[in-house]
Structure 1
């Protein structure tokens, strides 16, 4: 796909994301010198496109990752605050770059960080005082909103401040969930280990499936923590959580602005679904049918014809785009014709047509249909492989025979779905 097509296909996402709040958690893997400069450019681009960004970053500077039950003594806190300060200033410096001929030229981004998060001590765990280990007490959402409305990026370190003036370390895996919940974020993006090694290439799953996978996986596996947090984010009511590989350039943009993404998506809503068509789907259906009409695989249908039959259509919608359709036109009390079967070229040869047929047959059975007919000139093998049998034209119901186009000479197939 060339640049123009890619840019055009990203337009729906630009429109959808404008004005929406996104919490982004940058894990250690993403905060490396070789990766960070391009990542900052991508975040600046997201900001310029109208996303409201709250960015949380890791600050773990020890050989063993800190856990929420670890004791944070004075020496540990000193090392943490020094590393947090270093990373914060490095991030602010990179967001300030603007030399000519660079992605950041003219961005003029404002990065705001401050005492947005109030914390309390975690207290005693299994008889041990965790000292400067903290938990979120309150987030100043109004102040964060004020900065986001000014198109500023809000930078959140894994620290909070207590009412007694103490500095407390806040585990980022807990803080990201609280930030998303309390700011009513539309989306959370976790930039860390490659999640596809964890999921064996599966790019989207509901939270129950993800939790089952986590339950059978060792905690030391790459991306385990990222996906564990993603499951909790989803359970907290956030509409969508993305986990992407922070070690590969461009994954943030590729995940957010392409239909299939490059990471793992955990949606609360139905991201990829089959449903009955409505009048808003007419243009999407026509776009699917047009290539097949040009090849004379299907008879040309105008928008008015589709509109009059819209209740007969089932569509496969993926992230707002119609990628598959089929129609079931009733011929008698228990007989119907399967027509207009089409799948977007990007999704052919991967089982979409089979899934569409399964859904069509399920809905047809609910409507009392026991016999399906299909008329075809060029795709007979597809129907044969899915249980359809060749019959003579005379096998069609009488009213359908009257409408049969003998000049087109379509072959007739039938299948019992009782």
Structure 2
């Protein structure tokens, strides 16, 4: 019998929801120095080719690379520096076009047939004078031909945008890539932005999802020259412009782009305006996700087995923790007389049991209990008593339960009763 590599099979199956979700979506990708290094460039192109083949509409913005002096948005760009910038940008533009043209058999690019398009999509104006200094060839975005770009990506072309713009007087101006990324995303109405550069996790203290307010607080306490600041500052501007999701990824790590997009937890930092990880009341279409959580616990006899029909009828009693479309936690509250309620079906996915989700779930349950004017929560358990004791539940006799719940008590199961007063 053929033995299959199940890790690969499982990962590939689990990537299916993302493949469906990304197809036809517009994504602006800013490739910084780390992704354009000789060590990473070919694998970066291979991964982008895979994204393109899966139906993402890609707009690539390339960065300047290894200049003797980094170019800031307030730098004076004279003729010499502009000449150096154009030369370097041109080098990477043509290098990328060549790499996207590969088609060797047994290579990731075989059969890809990607058409790369670049051109005068961005009109610019001079940045002018800043603090008394004429910035010369430093520019700012004046207008983006969003319709022209949209036409190309609708024809499955990959649009490559250099950090350059053209003025009405025919001059070439340098455009700071962090500003251009935001404008491209905003004017194209992008669904997603990917910033591939410095590792953001040191600045975000390992947080893989962060809200805009929390990110802005981190940035306010960080020196602008700190590695990762530029990427996260641009991500903050992207989120402030209304783009639902912006990912900041370590470009020096091979495969980070695919790992970020096709695994549930990713490897970078996501700034999400929509509800990526939320607690909410259950719906009937959550039934299968709830069953998936409960079945292993029922098989271990930690929970009493419940038939799908019974769960469907009681779905209004459940609260779920949904993470990027997956139900990773659930619990139910059943109200009785005398301001008491039973807490039941508490379950957290095995991959998420050590990061406080159980506590967060209990907090949500207690909040709902208060809304229902519940004064006491009780739970019947056979194997998880310590978890409840550590969270303020105390041991009680079966007679402390409401009379109609006592009538349903299973003496053979011999569950222990714990009660918590809700303040």
| Number of the residue aligned with 2:409 | 404
| Number of the residue aligned with 2:75 | 70
| Number of the residue aligned with 1:122 | 127
Give the distance between the partners of 1:148 and 1:190, measured in 2 at CA.
19
Give the distance between the partners of 1:324 and 1:126, measured in 2 at CA.
54
Deviation at 1:129, TM superposition (A): 2.0
Q: Retained in 1: the 8 A contact 2:291–2:308?
A: yes
The TM-score normalised by the length of structure 2 is: 0.97
Deviation at 1:72, TM superposition (A): 1.6
Q: Retained in 1: the 8 A contact 2:333–2:365?
A: yes
* Counterpart secondary structure, 1:289: helix
Deviation at 1:61, TM superposition (A): 4.6
Moved more, 127-136 or 259-268: 127-136
Q: Retained in 2: the 8 A contact 1:333–1:368?
A: no
The answer to whether structure 1 residue 26 and structure 2 residue 26 are counterparts is no
Give the distance between the partners of 1:60 and 1:102, measured in 2 at CA.
27
Give the distance between the partners of 2:272 and 2:232, measured in 1 at CA.
13
Structure 1 stretches of 4+ with a deviation exceeding 3 A read none
Deviation at 1:127, TM superposition (A): 2.4
Q: Retained in 2: the 8 A contact 1:61–1:80?
A: no
Q: After superposition, give the CA deviation of every residue in 1:38-88 in whole Å (9 maximum; x if it has no partner).
A: 010000000000111000010245222111121222111111111111110
Give the distance between the partners of 1:63 and 1:74, measured in 2 at CA.
15
| Number of the residue aligned with 1:163 | 168
From 243, 266, 269, the equivalent of 2:271 is 266
* Counterpart secondary structure, 1:350: coil
The TM-score normalised by the length of structure 1 is: 0.98
From 293, 298, 302, the equivalent of 1:297 is 302
| Number of the residue aligned with 2:250 | 245
Give the distance between the partners of 1:218 and 1:169, measured in 2 at CA.
24
Give the distance between the partners of 2:315 and 2:158, measured in 1 at CA.
45
The answer to whether structure 1 residue 174 and structure 2 residue 179 are counterparts is yes
| Number of the residue aligned with 1:37 | 42
Deviation at 1:333, TM superposition (A): 4.8
Give the distance between the partners of 2:9 and 2:296, measured in 1 at CA.
20
Q: After superposition, give the CA deviation of every residue in 1:242-263 in whole Å (9 maximum; x if it has no partner).
A: 1010111000000011110000
* Counterpart secondary structure, 1:291: helix
Give the distance between the partners of 1:363 and 1:177, measured in 2 at CA.
40
* Counterpart secondary structure, 1:378: coil
Q: Retained in 1: the 8 A contact 2:33–2:66?
A: no
| Number of the residue aligned with 2:219 | 214
From 363, 368, 386, the equivalent of 1:381 is 386
Runs (5+) with no aligned partner, structure 1: none
Q: Retained in 1: the 8 A contact 2:317–2:334?
A: yes
Give the distance between the partners of 1:119 and 1:347, measured in 2 at CA.
48
Q: After superposition, give the CA deviation of every residue in 1:327-360 in whole Å (9 maximum; x if it has no partner).
A: 0001125110000000001011221111111111
Q: Say what the alpha-carbon RMSD is for the aligned residues.
A: 1.1
From 105, 110, 131, the equivalent of 2:110 is 105
Give the distance between the partners of 1:305 and 1:44, measured in 2 at CA.
47
Runs (5+) with no aligned partner, structure 2: 1-5
Moved more, 249-258 or 384-393: 384-393
Deviation at 1:101, TM superposition (A): 0.8
Pairing 1:8-19 to 2, within 5 Å after superposition: 8-19=13-24
Give the distance between the partners of 1:412 and 1:130, measured in 2 at CA.
73
Q: Retained in 1: the 8 A contact 2:62–2:162?
A: yes
| Number of the residue aligned with 2:206 | 201
| Number of the residue aligned with 2:3 | none
Q: Retained in 2: the 8 A contact 1:58–1:172?
A: yes
Give the distance between the partners of 2:62 and 2:338, measured in 1 at CA.
62
Q: After superposition, give the CA deviation of every residue in 1:87-137 in whole Å (9 maximum; x if it has no partner).
A: 100000011111111111111111111111111111222222222111111
Count how many residue pairs are aligned between Structure 1 and Structure 2: 418
